[in-house]
Structure 1
Amino acid sequence: MQTQKFRRARHFAAPTVFILMAAVLAGCANYAGIKSDRNIANASSYATTESIPAEHGRWPSTDWADQFGDAQLKTLIGEALQGSPSLEKARARVAAATAFSEGANANTLPQVGAGYSWTRQRFSESTLIPPPFAGSWQSENKAFINASYELDLWGKNRETLKSAVSSLHASEAEAEQVRLTLSSAIARAYNELARLYALHDIAQDEVKQRGEALRVTDGRVTMGLDTEVEKRTAEANLAASEVALSSLDGSIQRTRYQLGALLGRGPDRGLAIARPALGAGDEIRLPDNLPADLVSRRPDIVAARWRVDATLHDIKVAKAEFYPDINLSAMIGVDAFGWGRFLRAASRTASAGPAIHLPIFDGGALRAQLKGRYAEFDFAVASYNESLTNALTDVAIQLSDIRAIDAQIGNAVRTDTAAQRALTLALAQYKAGLTTQLTVLNAQTSALASRQLLANLRMTRRDRQIALAAALGGGYTDTSDPTKPTALVR
């Protein structure tokens, strides 16, 4: 009899095992053919020897704005970084990413909980409930402690955690990019204010010169050396200079308002900013090994790299979805009708066992999800490559502009010196009656243009210095794991 039972059990066990194996194999859905051949670009492979030469210079420090010797600029940048709405948004994104990574980490650990319930219930007399409970009201007390743990055999939860950590690093780098963008925007707007003040000084001098020319013309008209035409011309020129001066006053006011907005304090804050006192700044020399080191110095590139890394882990998560999940659970507690038997040993209850989820047929949902993850990976790689290309181009353009402006400034200084001497001579000769008003007007026009050109060149050079400091990362360095490899998951 026992042999027959054993044979019968074996007879049923063999197909049962086969069915379970088939279910497992069916559950492990096939993702063959879904892949990507994209790779992030290597900075060292870019041709940069001529455009970005090694000049044995230093990387910018975090206090790069101090090179211009203006304490007010440093104060303004610090104020903006404390109260900027843009930076507050970036900090909120970092906080959200931190919370998400903490939640992902919790999923890799065992979960333990406890509960209690009390239920008052009348049991039916027409079901399986036996007397004396059938047809009676009973109070059921239940208290338990339960625990669960997902085995994570395929690493889904671990990869989710890694993805969350990479996303957190990306958010932190993006916050640094916001800081850098904001500080460089303030420095450039502040430099623009300095430019307008320099042009304002030139315009004031022009008003004085043309006012003097009008007084000389009045005297010459009285002596019969000039006519009313020359007098009216001198008056028109003086009025035009005064209009230009008023226009600069308006531009200065507008720039102050813009600075107030960047500080996040409102337009009135900009009115309290004193006139800039910016110096020339440091000598421009690029650091060595720039293309390779730039990838850990530019926060936007670092953020893009961590986004690529996050998508790689998301791909592994999507692949793990094709395999069965196995969860272990256990529970102990007490369960009894009424209070009298609630804490007795007979009311003890316990359970334990695994729970298996098999993705047998999903209509292609898992394959579609994996394709989406690979598409996100391709997008992240393209974004990284674009960020790297733009960064190297940005450095090259700023350096080229600075070198070109340096050459222009030398010529502009010589031109301005000659133009100012010519104006002085023309005014002296005009006062002495040795030349005409037209000569003075031409000399004034040339002198004004040369001074404006020189002032604009100097301010533009400083603007490019600020842009170059930002292009080189503004003193940022990725300390999370700058050598972390980012390789394609096949």
Structure 2
Amino acid sequence: MSTKFSPRVATAALLIASSSLAGCGAPDLGPRPELRPPSTLDSAASIQGTAAEWPQERWWTAYGDPQLDGLVDEAIKGSPDVATALARIRQAQGALESSRAALLPSIGGQGSASVEKQSYNNGTPVAALPKGWKDYGMLALSANLNLDIWGKNRALLAAATSAAEAAVADERQAELVLASEVVSSYFDLGRLLERQKVLDETLAAREGSAKLVGQRVTQGLDNQSPLRQSNAEAARARIDVAANREQIEKRRHALAALLGTGPDRTLTLTPPSIATIAATPVPADAGIALAGRRPDIVMSRKLVQAADKGVEYAKKSFLPDISLSGLIGLSSLGISHLFDGGSDYGSAGAAVSLPIFQGGALSGRYRLARGGYDTMVASYNKSVIGALQEVADALSTRTSAGEQERHALEARTEANAAYGLALQRYKGGLSTYIDVLSAETTALDTRLGAVDAHFATLASEVALKRALGGGYADDSAKKATPDE
């Protein structure tokens, strides 16, 4: 009976044994954390929608302001943040291309030409050696292919694919944040300019009151106390005017920075008055469908997928690698004989690489990959919870801002009327300057309050559009579902 084993049987036995060893090699780190998609979190009562459509992609164009449209486009084109996100996309695409190469055969070519003389004193019979200096030539073509039987390299490719898709979503998130900041800053500049009008008018009124009191003092109808107080109020009004002017300049500087330009770009920028804007409709599935409508959530989900494949790659690294290689070429003594018959040579074979002892390196990499996966899951869950909170907060703010604006307008009307009556009574000698000052201060406060309330309503609409994803929709190969 023969005791020889077939090479194929020996190889198969080696693979089975190595697979068993590798399966035992990955440490048990317990159950994986679970994703918490929007559908698993209660939000129906806080986020109630009736519309069928989500915000459009270029949502800011709905305000009908060509100047604003141009500013947003300029910001996206010149922003360092967007440029950084685009650079990360190129990096991710490079990693993807590199990972894809591991699944393809590698082919290389070699060639050489030389003039050599063999030593006659190296132990080889002199009669067997070429005499004198001889020319040599060689041409060869080699190839190598990793069979990736266990799918390790395919897992790496899938991880790189998800990472590239995450980079694309990250760039869209950068655009969304930038656009919303430009629009919010633009509206806030409009608010400050409206406040400036009110403060300028208030200063004129304070100075008029001081002049009136001065006349009454000259006529002996008032003493120095109301005159001093009226002059002090006029000085305070000048302080308010100067402080608001500073805020206008800073807001213009901030807006220029968002555009990626110097501060001179927005020195004369003046937004037009905005009486009202259409309310942002809330989709009926605004809660559960956020997973595919917010670029930050999509990015987090793609990173979870990439980390999952990273864990798979680390686990399969315990398994052996099997590769095929081949070499074919021409070699001759005398370059002129390189293409003569008999100059060809070659080899072909298979190789198995089995990690037997790595000093804990593979186990450490597996733990590192698993820790990265757990981190990405926690980050995804945080993004989902935060997104639902932002939508709910934006809806609450919009409702409250609308109510506050209505009450602020009513208060402004009543306070202006009260101030007019107090001024008339003071001119007629029927009330004191204190009564006029009190009514005037209330009228100022309510006018400024009405301005702030109006622009708070506009800001709430911007915040809601941003919270709903600003018209983004996941268009990667794998669409987001309510359970992802």
Q: Shorter-chain TM-score: what band?
A: over 0.9
Q: In structure 2, which of residues 2, 13, 22 is the aligned counterpart of residue 21 of structure 1? A: 13
Contact 2:331/2:345 (<8 A) preserved: yes
Equivalent of residue 76 in structure 2, options 63, 81, 98: 81
Q: Structure 1 residues 486, 321: CA separation in 2 closer, same or farther (over 3 Å shift)?
A: farther
- CA deviations over 1:80-138 (Å, ceiling 9, x no partner): 01111111111010011111111212221222222211234443432458743278544
* Alpha-carbon separation, structure 2, partners of 1:386 and 1:327: 43
The reply on whether 1:334 has 2:330 as its aligned counterpart is yes
Which secondary structure state, in structure 2, belongs to the residue aligned with residue 330 of structure 1?
strand
Matched, 1:48 2:43: yes
What is the CA distance between 1:15 and its match in structure 2?
A: 11
The size of the alignment, in residue pairs, is 480
CA shift, 1:20, in A, is 7.5
Query: Hey, what's the Cα distance between the residues in 2 that align with 1:427 and 1:226?
Result: 15
* Residues 141 and 337 in structure 1, CA contact (< 8 A), matched pair in contact too: yes
Q: 1:353 aligns with which of 346, 349, 361?
A: 349
Alpha-carbon distance between aligned partners in 2 of 1:210 and 1:377, rounded to the nearest angstrom: 65
Deviation at 1:14, TM superposition (A): 7.5
Whole-angstrom distance in 1 between the partners of 2:193 and 2:109: 71
Distance 2:102 2:239 in 1: 70
- Per the alignment, in what secondary structure is the counterpart of residue 477 of structure 1? coil
Q: Which amino acid aligns with 2:79?
A: S
Alpha carbons 2:327, 2:347 under 8 Å: kept? yes
Matched, 1:114 2:109: yes
Select which of 182, 188, 191 maps to 2:184: 188
* Whole-angstrom CA distance in 1 between matches of 2:255 and 2:27: 56
Q: Call closer, same or farther: CA 1:22–1:353 in 2, change over 3 Å.
A: closer
> What's the CA shift for 1:407?
1.7
Quick one: which of 291, 296, 299 aligns to 1:303?
299
Name which of 304, 320, 330 aligns with 2:316: 320
Higher deviation after alignment, 356-365 or 422-431: 356-365
Partner of 1:38: 33
- In the TM superposition, what is the alpha-carbon distance from 1:71 to its structure 2 partner? 2.0
SS in 2 for 1:255: helix
Among candidates 452, 455, 461, match of residue 459 of structure 1: 455
1:34 is displaced (CA, Å) by: 4.1
Shift of residue 476, structure 1, vs aligned partner:
0.6
**Does 2:229 correspond to 1:246?**
no
User: CA separation in 2, counterparts of 1:484 and 1:237?
Assistant: 60
Match of 2:270 among 274, 289, 298: 274
Q: 1:215 to 1:115 in 2, by over 3 A?
A: same
- Aligned partners of 2:53 and 2:283 also within 8 Å: yes
Q: CA deviation at 1:288?
A: 0.6
CA distance 1:275–1:26, change in 2 (3 Å): closer
Aligned to 1:161: 157
- Contact preservation (8 Å) 1:258, 1:270: no
Identity within the alignment, %: 32
Contact 1:296 1:482 in 2 (8 A): no
Q: Find the counterpart in structure 2 of residue 408 from structure 1.
A: 404
1:441 aligns with 2:437: yes
2-structure distance, mates of 1:484, 1:223? 80
Q: Which runs of 5+ in 2 are unaligned?
A: none
8 Å contact from structure 1 (residues 121, 139) kept in 2: yes
Give the conservation status (yes or no) of the 8 Å contact 1:104–1:157: yes
Which residue number in structure 1 is paired with residue 98 of structure 2? 103
- Alpha-carbon distance change, 23 to 156 in structure 1, aligned in 2, over 3 angstroms: closer
Aligned pair partner of 2:388 in 389, 392, 397: 392
**Secondary structure of the corresponding residue to residue 129 of structure 2:** coil
Q: Is the 8 A contact 1:429 1:435 kept in 2?
A: yes
Shift of 1:258: 0.7
Classify 1:468/1:117 alpha carbon distance in 2 versus 1 (closer, same or farther; 3 Å). same
| Higher mean C-alpha displacement, 355-364 vs 303-312 | 355-364
Conserved? CA contact 1:143–1:334, under 8 Å = yes
- 1:4 is matched with none
* TM score, norm. by length of structure 1: 0.92
Aligned counterparts of 1:12 and 1:433: Cα–Cα separation in 2: 127
SS in 2 for 1:346: coil
The one of 241, 252, 256 equivalent to 1:256 is 252
Q: Is the 8 A contact 1:308 1:486 kept in 2?
A: no
Could you tell me how far apart the structure 2 residues matched to 1:311 and 1:194 are? Answer: 45
Query: Structure 1 residues 391 and 128, CA, compared in 2 at 3 Å: closer, same or farther?
Result: farther
SS in structure 2 opposite 1:178? helix
C-alpha change, 1:237 and 1:485, in structure 2 (3 Å) is closer
Structure 2 Cα separation of the partners of residues 212 and 387 of structure 1:
56
2: CA distance, partners of 1:427 / 1:469: 45
Matched position secondary structure for 2:332: strand
> Cα distance, 1:270 vs. partner?
2.0
Give the match's secondary structure for 2:71.
helix
Q: Quick one: distance in 1 between partners of 2:429 and 2:316?
A: 95
Residue 315 (structure 1) shift: 1.7
Secondary structure of 1:173's counterpart equals helix
Deviation for aligned residue 1:218: 2.2
Q: How does the TM-score come out when normalised to structure 2? A: 0.93
CA contact 1:68–1:281 (8 Å) conserved in 2 = yes
Alpha-carbon distance between aligned partners in 1 of 2:7 and 2:157, rounded to the nearest angstrom: 39
Aligned to 1:3: none
Deviation at 1:148, TM superposition (A): 1.8
Distance 2:303 2:151 in 1: 20
Q: Distance in 1 between matches of 2:482 and 2:163?
A: 14
Deviation at 1:22, TM superposition (A): 4.8
CA distance in 2 between partners of 1:378 and 1:345 (Å):
62
Q: Distance in 2 between matches of 1:398 and 1:374?
A: 36
Between the aligned partners of 1:217 and 1:19, the Cα distance in structure 2 is 108
> In 1, are the aligned partners of 2:106 and 2:143 still within 8 Å (CA)?
yes
CA 1:476–1:43 in structure 2 vs 1: closer, same or farther (change >3 Å)?
same
| Unpaired segments ≥5 residues, structure 1 | 1-6
How much is the aligned-residue C-alpha RMSD, in angstroms?
A: 2.3
Runs of 4 or more, structure 1, over 6 Å off, are 485-488
1:81 and 1:155, CA in 2 relative to 1: closer, same or farther beyond 3 A?
Answer: same
Q: Please list, as runs of the form range in 1=range in 2, the aligned pairs for 1:89-238 lying within 5 A after superposition.
A: 89-124=84-119, 125-127=121-123, 131-133=127-129, 136-238=132-234
How many angstroms does 1:444 deviate by?
0.6
Question: Could you say what secondary structure the match of 2:43 adopts?
Answer: coil
User: What SS class does the counterpart of residue 340 from structure 1 fall into?
Assistant: helix
Matching residue of 1:291: 287
